[in-house]
């Protein structure tokens, strides 16, 4: 008997290792996979049968006998038929949770390397054109056209060029990069090799945050296994050291070079003078991992899905206090309410949804009254927020939004790279000002001061850490102003 059990970090956090060990002790052959992406059913065990895989989950280690004899109380059947999965459009995450992440045979059997082989038969300019026509935009947050970025690097003169994958994924509420690296690492490797061919780069780096030990291990192993397949392109993993700002692309480059991760002034663009001063394409994990699909299936197949200028799919991450938390890949245009209520199933606590933060610590908080917002870069910008890396963090009515505004300022102060005053000093002033509001000290006056401070940070910061921290703060003020009255109105800190 063969069973599939995820070794995704979040599944392991829920006990998947113990379940796998119990299955092995019971004589079952266990294949460790990535996670399918619905954490309510993890640890998930899927048993191979002539009619396909039969899932049970969640499963505890002392329940494996019931899984084996088919009587487990959480028997699901075909996991792919659950509405959570059946309604997705999995372009990037097609293999994740299904294949053995480190099996080259599995990868090839599930459509791997078609994109790279096709790319290598075409001139670089043609590959760049395909990526541009797909409409793919950077999934790291800024939403910049990937095709235009690659074109700039292709056109830049240079004896050496680099591909850098931004796997710093520091935003709370996001885990898609991690899941892909753990569950389908060859997909990212293939995307990077395609990028190398497209712009003329022979070397690449994957910069992974240190908080992701499983992803680091899996990527290193996968790179070693795929080295021959992607040669002469060569890849290396670099590990971050716990600095959120190193997710900013120029700080990340400085970090790879062995320096403090401080933001560089632009220009020059990294595509012209990036790593070690050479033309460098720096893209997010999800951006690069979308590329094999585009090459294999054509730019039109990708661009056919989406909304407005946001083309293709987005691996949305449902996080926080949400019943069906996990990874949900879907074409742009789905509304925030569909994601939170229909897909997410509302809060896990069963209490009403009060606020949803989209796009990590620099993203705005939205109330349920704005749930008709379509998932689209432009629509979110117009609503005073951002999609960012598509983390959707749900809070129930127990949340104190004044506390969350304070946290945003505190986080900015802790993670500021220190290069510019509005961010470095402004965030500390922001914490102090919020502390006065929390203490009930002249709330009206101090709220006005806080808004001024946000304005200064918004317009005077070099990068989005200082520049966008006002999004969570101002949205909390604008949509949840009732929390900013006086301390006794806001209630005690939980």
Question: What does the binding site for another protein look like in residue numbers (CB under 8 A)?
Answer: 9-10, 12-14, 39, 42, 169-175, 177-178, 210-213, 238-244, 255-261, 276, 317-322, 325-326, 348, 357, 360-361, 391, 393-396, 399, 404, 407, 411, 415, 493-494
Which of the listed partners (ligand SF4, ligand FMN, another protein, none) does 141 bind, with a CB threshold of 5 to 8 Å by partner kind?
ligand FMN
Tell me the CA distances in angstroms from 21 to 17, 26, 61, 145, 480, one per residue in order. 6, 9, 8, 45, 48
Residue number with CB closer to another protein (320 or 422)? 320
Site for ligand FMN in 160-199 (CB under 6 A): 166, 168-170
Of 208, 272, 291, 420, the one binding ligand SF4 by CB under 6 A: 420
- 35 binds ligand SF4, rule: CB under 6 A: no
Residue number with CB closer to another protein (257 or 444)? 257
CB of 98 to another protein, least distance (A): 20
Number of residues that bind ligand FMN (CB under 6 A): 21
Site for ligand SF4 in 227-266 (CB under 6 A): 245, 263
For the record, the structure tokens of 161 come out as 């060029």
Question: How many CA atoms does the CB half-sphere of 41 hold within 13 Å?
Answer: 28
Sheet holding 353-358, edge to edge: 326-331, 313-320, 391-396, 353-358, 365-366
φ/ψ (deg, to 5) at 394: -100, 135
- Containing 67, the helix (H) or strand (E) segment is helix 64-68
Which of the listed partners (ligand FMN, another protein, ligand SF4, none) does 423 bind, with a CB threshold of 5 to 8 Å by partner kind?
ligand SF4
**Could you tell me which of 326, 73, 79, 57 has the C-alpha nearest to residue 178?**
326
Q: Which 3 state secondary structure label does DSSP give 73?
A: coil
**Could you tell me which of 487, 480, 473 has the C-alpha nearest to residue 408?**
473
The Cα–Cα gap between 265 and 315 comes to 31
- Containing 100, the helix (H) or strand (E) segment is none
Site for ligand FMN in 88-147 (CB under 6 A): 138-142, 144
Site for ligand FMN in 424-483 (CB under 6 A): 463-465
Question: How many CA atoms does the CB half-sphere of 28 hold within 13 Å?
Answer: 24
Of 42, 184, 248, 396, the one binding ligand FMN by CB under 6 A: 248
Residue number with CB closer to ligand SF4 (284 or 427)? 427
Residues in the chain: 494
Tell me which stretch binds ligand SF4 (CB under 6 A): 89-97, 151-159, 337-345, 412-420: 412-420
Per the CB < 8 A criterion, the answer to whether 464 and 416 are in contact is no
CB of 49 to another protein, least distance (A): 28
For the record, the structure tokens of 19 come out as 């379940």
Question: Which residues lie near ligand SF4 (CB under 6 A)?
Answer: 245, 263, 416-420, 423-424, 461-463, 465-466
Binding site for ligand FMN (CB under 6 A): 138-142, 144, 166, 168-170, 245, 247-249, 282-284, 287, 463-465
């Amino acid at each position: 008997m063969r069973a599939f059990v995820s070794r995704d970090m979040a599944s392991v956090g829920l006990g998947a290792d113990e379940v796998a060990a119990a299955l092995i002790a019971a004589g079952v052959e266990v294949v460790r996979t990535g996670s399918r992406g619905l954490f309510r059913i993890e640890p998930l065990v899927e048993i191979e049968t002539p009619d396909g895989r039969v899932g049970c989950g969640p499963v505890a280690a002392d329940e494996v006998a019931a899984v084996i004899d088919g009587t487990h109380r959480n028997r699901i059947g075909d996991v792919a038929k659950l509405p959570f999965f059946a309604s997705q459009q999995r372009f990037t995450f097609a293999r994740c949770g299904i294949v053995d992440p480190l099996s080259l045979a599995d990868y090839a059997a599930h459509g791997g390397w078609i994109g790279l082989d096709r790319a290598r038969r075409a001139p670089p300019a043609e590959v760049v054109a395909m990526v541009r026509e797909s409409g793919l935009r950077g999934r790291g947050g800024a939403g910049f056209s990937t095709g235009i970025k690659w074109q700039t690097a292709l056109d830049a003169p240079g004896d050496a060029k680099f591909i850098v994958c931004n796997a710093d994924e520091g935003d709370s509420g996001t885990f898609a990069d991690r899941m892909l690296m753990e569950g389908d690492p060859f997909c990212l490797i293939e995307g990077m090799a395609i990028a190398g061919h497209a712009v003329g780069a022979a070397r690449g780096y994957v910069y992974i945050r240190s908080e992701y030990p499983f992803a680091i291990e899996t990527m290193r192993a996968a790179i070693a296994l795929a080295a021959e397949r992607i040669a002469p392109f060569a890849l290396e993993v670099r590990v971050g050291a716990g600095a959120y700002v190193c997710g900013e692309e120029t700080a990340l480059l400085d970090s790879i070079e062995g320096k403090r991760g401080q933001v560089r002034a632009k220009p020059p663009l990294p595509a012209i003078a990036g790593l070690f001063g050479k033309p460098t394409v720096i893209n997010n994990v999800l951006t690069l991992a979308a590329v094999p699909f585009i090459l294999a299936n054509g730019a039109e197949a990708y661009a056919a899905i989406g909304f407005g200028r946001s083309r293709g799919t987005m691996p949305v991450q449902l996080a926080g206090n949400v019943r069906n938390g996990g990874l949900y890949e879907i074409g742009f245009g789905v509304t925030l309410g569909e994601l939170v209520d229909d897909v997410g199933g509302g809060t896990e606590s069963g209490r009403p949804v009060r606020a949803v933060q989209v796009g990590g610590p620099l993203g705005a908080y939205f109330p349920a009254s704005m749930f008709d917002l379509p998932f689209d870069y432009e629509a979110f910008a117009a609503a005073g927020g951002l999609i960012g890396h598509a983390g959707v963090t749900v809070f129930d009515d127990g949340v104190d939004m004044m506390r969350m505004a304070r946290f945003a300022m505190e986080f900015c102060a802790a993670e500021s790279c220190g290069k510019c005053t509005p961010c470095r000093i402004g965030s500390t002033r922001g914490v102090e000002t919020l502390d006065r509001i929390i203490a009930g000290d002249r709330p009206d006056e101090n709220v006005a001061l806080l808004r001024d401070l946000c304005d200064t940070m918004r317009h005077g910061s070099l990068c989005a850490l200082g520049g966008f921290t006002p999004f969570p703060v101002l949205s909390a003020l604008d949509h949840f102003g009732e929390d900013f009255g006086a301390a006794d109105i806001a209630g005690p800190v939980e």
